[in-house]
Chain A
Amino acid sequence: MRKILVALLALTVATGAVGLFAAPKFSDGGKVLTIYVWNDEFQTRFKDYFEKAGLVPKDVTVNWVVTPNQDNAYQNKLDEALLNQDKASPNDKIDIFLVEADYALKYVNTDASLDVMKDVGLTKADLSQQFQYTKDIMTDKNGVLKGVSWQGCPAGFIYRRSIAKEVLGTDDPAKVQAQIDSWEKFDAVAAKLKAKGYFAVSGYDDDFRVFTDNATVPWVDKNGKIQIDQNINKWIDQTKEYTDKGYNNKASLWSAESSAGAGPNGKVFGYFGPGWFIDFCLAGWSKADPKGPDALGNGTYGDWAFAKGPQGFSWGGTWLVAAAGTDNISLVKSIFKKMTVDQSTLTAIAKDKGDFTNNIAVINNLANDKKFGNKFLGGQNYYGLLVDSAKKISRKNITGYDQGCTEALMAAFKDYFDGKVTKDQAWGNFYTAILEKYPNLKK
């Protein structure tokens, strides 16, 4: 009897030990490639440059799981799926998921993401041409790179040429830049625009990133205490002033009013944003006929230009992360290589989609290419303006709480800008919302 018990005990321990090693970090040969996204930005680029090149193996189907970002739905779904990754059937296992800068740390510092170099197989040479900050942001505390991106996001001010001509007397990017290269000058231009019936920016949140990206203090310190950088107070005061003086159209970010400001009847002078904002947002908003040609005359398409604006900044970005437990590791590797390393692909994406692609050599080539111009920007080649700022972007202040803090701040202060609450009440609402989202933080 005793021998049987001992044998059973040994068997249980052995099974337990095997169980610990049973879930492999990755495997190969799966039939379904599952990619989690929140919009179709990567999907379109994947289709145009990876699928069209015939690089998807014939027996593999690509399954796009699209969950919009609204109300945190995308991350909720992603988190549930990642926590169930071990128990999921091979066809349901996540292979790749996309993350944004605002919440990248949440996934970088866990075991749910794979090492890009050791597990996925990209080499140092592959990654050498990528802008440093795109690698820093996805490097965990042990120095392991967990994700790669095809885009860099240095940003500036994208303005309407016709409005510039009418109000400032010129639409040349260098001359316009001379008139808006500091906040004081920008305020003066805003007053001139108002006099002629135009809005300097579309709403409350448009220059938020210009301020927060230049902050010196992270949202949360090492002890879990929420910190408010000086620049955030500057943003609040400037936006309140602009709202009271009528320099903006009181729109909230991503609202219908905001996008209408860029449309055929729009009266907004410009928007702050990076490359993806131009192609993925403004281009669509500007067209009078959505199915019409991407050419001058279709709404405000082509009537825009790019200037650096009062302050350099960067905004967002989308990174590809390989999920631990993927069963398509070699396909993941070839996707990462083609979409974020291969120079001809990145050149094509830049030329066709206007992205500021994540390759120093490609961007330098394009900057010096006199024949290349962005159609939306009326033929302007804006890459040269941003190469240096892209190299200088630093994201050392990101935290895993950035997204929640950003959203809560914008929502809380919308009421203040609308004149519904006082500043103190708005701050109170902000802290209430943050502590609900992140109960472990302190005021």
Chain B
Amino acid sequence: MSRPIAAKKRKTVEYTRWGYFFIAPFFIIYTVFALIPLISTFYNSFFETYRIGLSQVGPNFVGIQNFISVFTESKIYIYAWNTVLLWVLNFIPQIAVSLLLAVLFTSSSMNIKGQQFFKTVIYMPNLIMASAFSMLFFALFSDGGPVNSMIVNAGLVSEPIRFGSSVGWTRALICIMNFMMWFGNTTILLMAGIMGIDNSLFEAARIDGAGTGKVFFRITMPLLKPIFVFVFITSLIGGLQMFDVPQILTNGSGNPDRTSMTLIMFLNKHLASRNYGMAGAVSVLIFFVTGALSLVAYRVTMRGYRDSGATN
């Protein structure tokens, strides 16, 4: 009598073990490449360690001295502001355009032709290496470059616009580049989200006589929340870690006057002297800020979603 039960028990355990095997690779790679470096960064931030020429200074234990330096001597507030500003100015147009395109492409009443072509084209900028893209813009918008030649010849301006020396233009170019690189990705994610909404809801709304606007705000947006939150948080994390585009465009200086220097560019400056102490301190701060913001974003956006009982 007990035998069949024992056999069943063994079978269940076997399946569980296989589950662990399948998720093990991810956890091993995560531990080695993400968790251990994270812990060692935390550890390094309590030491003074850098390199001058070929000689190494430290590691000397200095406690929270590095963190104090970061808050009092460096202009980290300015860099944080730059980073947030550059992200917001890029994200708002991006989400607006992506939502619009996503709705247009998935709208059964509009049925746009050549969707496959458009989807491929808008996704393509994402495939370009950010550094190559920035180099291209750097050359295009330089003082004697093609864009200036065109607008001077067209008579739009009397002398070349010095894009690289203007705070507004440098930031605008960075935002434009990020927008072009990511709006395709965002559109496709949002499209997937919209297509996951039950079609019967849309039909019911149309039968009830709801216009496009009402459908969008009352049905699409609320049910799109999980995907929207995903896009928002990943964009936020990516935005806070923005590095390659401003680095290449401003040649690492964040000029003019460091107005386009982001947090990671500032971190990179410390790595020039292998200053793992200060770099570690900045990294830890960015980690906590990103974590906090992500948590806030998640809580705020998902609050309504959870309460409505749409998920269990």
Contacts and interface: CB of A to CB of B under 8 A. Distances in A.
A106 B143 contact: no
A418 B255 CA distance: 11
A255 B145 CA distance: 11
A425 B53 CA distance: 28
Contacts of A440: 50, 52, 57
A145 interface: no
A106 B256 contact: no
A429 interface: yes
Interface string B42-58: 00000000111111010
B142 interface: yes
B225 interface: no
A408 to B, nearest CB: 9
Interface string B272-289: 110100100000000000
A83 B54 contact: yes
A429 B257 contact: yes
Please tell me the size bucket of the interface on A: 20 to 34
Given A421-B256, A429-B258, A439 B54 contact: no
Contacts of B297: none
B75 interface: yes
A255 B257 contact: no
Contact of A400 (B53, B144, B272, B275): B53
Given A71-B252, A257-B144, A420-B167, A438 B257 contact: no
B251 interface: yes
A415 B259 CA distance: 11
B270 interface: yes
Contacts of B53: 106-107, 110, 400
Contacts of A411: 253, 255
Contacts of B273: 436-439
Chain B interface mostly helix, strand, loop or mixed? loop
Interface string B102-142: 00000000000000000000000000000000000001001
Contacts of A250: 143, 162
A418 B167 contact: no
A410 to B, nearest CB: 10
Nearest to A111: B54
B256 A251 contact: no
A438 B52 contact: yes
Contacts of B55: 110
B212 interface: no
A70 to B, nearest CB: 8
Contacts of A432: 74-75, 258
A39 B65 CA distance: 41
Given A82-B54, A107-B54, A439-B52, 7 more contacts: A112-B54, A414-B256, A418-B162, A437-B273, A439-B57, A439-B278, A440-B52
Interface of A: 70-72, 79, 82-83, 106-107, 110, 112, 250-251, 255-257, 260, 400, 411, 414-415, 418, 420-421, 425, 429, 432-433, 436-440
Which 9 residue pairs of A and B lie closest in terms of their CB atoms, listed nearest first? A106-B53, A420-B256, A418-B165, A436-B269, A415-B256, A257-B144, A421-B257, A257-B143, A415-B257
